[in-house]
Structure 1
């Protein structure tokens, strides 16, 4: 499970505005092995966390490269997933190292292979000098990927894009309020967005979420109704903020849980300029 809020605007009104503001949580078993965010891949071009789970090594949930390609994935909530399906994290990492396919073409290719995976939602993007694109495909929705319209505010959890689950509506309101504050510095914006991501308020009952998650443990379903998920062995273990300003400067902030301890966190921040 995960949650993502984002706004992209290829032509921000001022140099102090952002082409992309993205805030995301990774929800996972606390003991699932993974690397914290760092640069990797050919010439150290890719910045992301990396999954180390046996059989799914090398996958990721969210990342960006220095050429302006970005990808993020969320699982689709299903009560009885196929245990033999391929790992979905490779869909992110493969796009970030791909030199040939643009964001839409990559999703078009993945749509022909979608039966190999359990339910997922995949965002792919390109932030280029001439034009920015963000595309979306969910293998439990339309058969075709879509281009997202610029300047919109989008939210994605574990159903299709902008499905009005209560947690998504609550988080989107909070996210919208924060990014509307033009007086915030870059550091201030990051801190406020971390506040959005760490809201543990439950949003239940939510019949829409519960219906989709039929077959899931009812206590876990209740925990999943919060933007920041907390249960004994599973929950939000990584917060990520990605900002891209009008000049192509990227600020990538990751706050991640250490040693499976919800009271022990480490924050890393990276800054670089896109090669576009």
Structure 2
């Protein structure tokens, strides 16, 4: 529904262990002149600044963008992982996330939209069920989670935040995977990082805006110390 700005992305990980992911914040009115949010991910991946310092810098410029959530992380087998979060529609300061399982949709982190709670349950079930199975089985199961189209209704939290903007497609928007004629999920990404720093990046992408045609690619590499 919105043209991407050149040079940006919504998710990425580098061989240096820098990881970032961004979601838009559901809001009825968008500023067409706001800066492109995708640059927030690209800049972090290509800079040397640590995740918390980067998000503190971003927080001082958050008003220049339409609503967004940004996860930034420094992954290291030697120093341990640091993962941070900032949303420009929430608290003014970024936070460091404690170890655990988090859900993020198009509201602030851990906002209990029904589809978010449902998706987290599916995710945890898949991880627990596949602990003793090959990695490709886990990836397939997680892609199934991301493609679940069961509407989780009623959900007044989505309706209150989106108001008239989301009402026409609420029955589709209230699912983990959104499938509408001109709007919806076009990419699924699963990133696995093991204790030795081995990264498996699997992405399933729609071809030519056709929901019946997809391709899946996988990239593997070792984090640099």
One of 120, 132, 143 as aligned partner of 1:172: 120
Aligned to 2:89: 140
**Between structures 1 and 2, the one with greater strand share:** 1
Distance 1:217 1:266 in 2: 29
**TM-aligned CA deviation for residue 160 of structure 1:** 0.6
Q: Retained in 2: the 8 A contact 1:213–1:221?
A: no
One of 85, 94, 98 as aligned partner of 2:43: 94
Aligned to 2:68: 120
Distance 1:185 1:274 in 2: 21
Residue by residue, what CA displacement relative to the aligned partner does 1:19-68 show, whole Å, maximum 9, x if unpaired?
A: xxxxxxxxx67xx6xxxxxxxxxxxxxxxxxxxx4xx1010000000000
Q: Retained in 1: the 8 A contact 2:166–2:173?
A: no
Q: Retained in 2: the 8 A contact 1:122–1:136?
A: yes
Distance 1:235 1:258 in 2: 13
5+ residue gaps, structure 1: 1-27, 33-52
* TM-score normalised by length of structure 1: 0.79
**TM-aligned CA deviation for residue 215 of structure 1:** 3.0
Distance 1:222 1:145 in 2: 33
Could you say what secondary structure the match of 1:222 adopts? helix
Q: Retained in 1: the 8 A contact 2:159–2:166?
A: no
Aligned to 1:224: 173
| Alignment partner of 1:72 is 2:7 | no
**TM-aligned CA deviation for residue 81 of structure 1:** 1.5
5+ residue gaps, structure 2: none
Moved over 3 A (4+): none
Aligned to 2:203: 254
Distance 2:12 2:169 in 1: 27
Equivalent residue pairs, number = 223
* TM-score normalised by length of structure 2: 0.96
CA RMSD in angstroms comes to: 1.1
